[in-house]
Amino acid sequence: MKKTSFVATLLIFAMLFMCCLSGCDLLGGKDTEKEQKTYTSNGLSITMEDGFYEKELLSATYYLESQDKIFVALKESFTDLSSIDFKSESTVYDYAELVANTNKLDAVIKLSESEKYAYFNYTKNVEEKDFYYLATCHKANDGFWLVQFACDTKNTDEFNEKFHSWAETVIFDEIDVKTI
C-alpha cells in the first residue's frame, strides 16, 4: 500500500472515530432524541422537542414553528360555540366532527388510545407544497381546542408518532367558567 493512501485511510478512520465521539451522524444512523421543552401560552402548555419558536398568526390562539414542523392551536370558548348551538356538554369527538365538517374534510375521526383527545389527519397543498396535518381536539373547562401539527408530506412517517406523543402532553390552565 502506498504511504499516501495509508495516511489517507488512517485520516478517514480518525475522522469517523472523532465523529462518533462527538455524536455526529455521517453514516445516516438514527437521530439522537432532541431535548424536550414545555411551551406555554394563552392557557395551553405542551411539551415538544426544543427548537420551536413563536410567531404571530392572526387566526390562531398559539402558533409555533420549527425548521420542519408547525404547531397551531385554536381555542373556541363554550360561549362562542353556543352561537352555533354547540353545547358545552358535547364531547371532543363531537367537536372533531364539527371541525372536519365545517372545513369540508372527508376525515375519519378517532379517539386516542388514552381517550384524552379525538383526532383526524388530512393533507393540504399550501403555496405549491403538500403538507400532512394531524388535527387533535381537546376539551378544557372553558372551551374546546383544535391543536394541529403539520409537516411536509414526505416526512409524515417520521413525525406522525411524535405528533401523537406531543398531543398527549397538552394541558390547560384550570379556569372556572363561572368566575369569568
pLDDT digits (tens, 9 = 90+) for 89-123: 999 999 999 999 999 999 999 999 999 999 999 99
pLDDT class of 36 with cuts at 50, 70, 90: very high
- Topology of the domain comprising 34-179: Protein Transport Mog1p; Chain A (3.40.1000)
pTM recorded for the entire structure: 0.78
| 21 confidence band (pLDDT: 50, 70, 90) | very low
Domains of the chain by residue range: 1-32, 34-179
The total number of residues written for the chain in this structure: 180
Confidence of residue 30 (pLDDT cuts 50, 70, 90): very low
* Distance (Å, whole) CA 147 – CA 139: 11
The 10s digit of each residue's pLDDT in 70-86 is 999 999 999 999 999 89
Question: What span, in angstroms and rounded, lies between the C-alpha atoms of 42 and 84?
Answer: 24
